[in-house]
Structure 1
Amino acid sequence: MRMLLIVKLPHGPFNTAVKDGTVGQKMKRILDETKPEAVYFTEQNGRRGAVMVVNLEDPSRIPFYAEP
């Protein structure tokens, strides 16, 4: 089952990761774990965010995607 996942990136932690140079590693780890079909980085209501299309083979995996 395909699922549209809306991601909100908090400004403080994201800016800190950009400044210390770890944002690329963190984003790669997240994308490697979720294996999205597509990712669109965007602004949502004045905040950084992303829209991801993920294939959810087992509904019990929803917390993996939805929990922080």
Structure 2
Amino acid sequence: MRVLLKASMNTEKANEVIRGGKMPQLMQEALGNLKPEAAYFTLEHGVRTAYLFFDMRDSSQMPPIGEPFFMDLGAEIDLTPVMNADDLQKGLSELR
């Protein structure tokens, strides 16, 4: 299932990681593990926020996906099922 992971990072924890030079490695590991089809980084409500769109095959993946963000960045995480245009068309065709 395609999902959107939104990670809102704790500013102080993220600052520590950046000062320690570990942010590039953490992001590279996260992106390498998730293999997102798209990844965006921005500010939301004044905090560093990542939006990652990826395929989650099973809900048992939730701990290994979320824990690095929780433990290393003090992040708040949302996982939301999402559709692309093809998924939407497929779903709508089943309404007939």
Task: Using structure 1 for the length normalisation, give the TM-score.
Answer: 0.82
1:19: which partner in 2? 19
- 2:65 corresponds to 1:65: yes
Distance 2:65 2:23 in 1: 19
Match of 2:2 in 1: 2
- Decide whether aligned partners of structure 1 residues 60 and 11 sit closer, same or farther in structure 2, where only a CA change above 3 A counts: same
Unaligned runs of 5+ in 2: 71-96
Q: Does 1:43 align with 2:47?
A: no
Higher strand share goes to which structure?
A: 1
After TM superposition, the score normalised by the length of structure 2 is: 0.61
Residue 28 of structure 1 corresponds to which residue in structure 2? 28
**Which piece of structure 1 moves more, 25-34 or 56-65?**
56-65
**Where does structure 1 lack aligned partners over 5 or more consecutive residues?**
none
Structure 2 letter corresponding to 1:8: S
CA distance in 2 between counterparts of 1:20 and 1:62 reads 27
CA RMSD for the aligned pairs?
Answer: 1.5
